[in-house]
């Protein structure tokens, strides 16, 4: 290997680096990271540690309330089958929300 000095031709050093496996691996590591893969049973979202059942139920109820409102507003501008599907989604969301609210009420008054 040629010692590096101010007189060393920089184009030769660049060429040597571009042919270097170590340099290629380093560039790939930083510029082309491996995609993150999830197993088929791994959840994409995980509730934070220490979340109580009551807090989780309340949060899920609020999420479902927002989802129902979104479905309703979406259905408002539709007609025919797409409207029926949006309203059916809203109905299923409201049923799930009612079940969560019942669960929360049962936890408060055993």
Choose between 8 and 60: higher pLDDT. 60
Q: 100 lies in a domain? A: yes
Domain housing 96: 53-108
Q: Which residue has the tokens 């408060």?
A: 108
Q: 65-103, pLDDT tens digit by residue?
A: 999 999 999 999 899 999 999 999 999 999 999 999 998
Res 90: pLDDT = 94
Asked if 86 and 74 touch (Cβ cutoff 8 Å), the reply is yes
**pLDDT at 35 (0 to 100):** 79
The pTM score is 0.56
Looking at the structure of the chain, the number of domains it has is 1
Q: Considering the domain boundaries, does residue 42 fall inside one?
A: no
**Domain-located, residue 78:** yes
Q: How many helices (H) and strands (E) does the chain have?
A: 4, 0
Residue 61, domain member (yes or no): yes
Could you read off the pLDDT of 27-69 as tens digits, one per residue?
A: 778 888 777 777 788 787 888 889 988 888 889 999 999 999 9
- Does some domain include residue 71? yes
Our measurement of the distance from residue 31's CA atom to the centroid of its chain's CA atoms, rounded to an integer in Å, reads: 22
Instruction: Tally the C-alpha atoms within 13 A of residue 24's C-alpha that lie toward its C-beta.
Output: 6
The CA–CA distances, whole Å, from 61 to 47, 64, 70, 86 equal 15, 5, 14, 19
């Amino acid at each position: 290997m040629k010692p590096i000095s101010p007189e060393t031709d920089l184009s030769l050093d660049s060429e040597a680096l571009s042919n270097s496996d170590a340099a290629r691996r380093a560039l790939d590591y930083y510029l082309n990271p491996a995609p993150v893969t999830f197993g088929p049973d791994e959840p994409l979202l995980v509730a934070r540690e220490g979340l109580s059942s009551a807090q989780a139920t309340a949060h899920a109820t609020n999420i479902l309330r927002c989802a129902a409102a979104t479905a309703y507003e979406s259905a408002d501008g539709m007609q025919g089958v797409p409207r029926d599907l949006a309203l059916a989604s809203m109905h299923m969301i409201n049923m799930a929300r009612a079940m969560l609210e019942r669960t929360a009420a049962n936890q408060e008054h055993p």
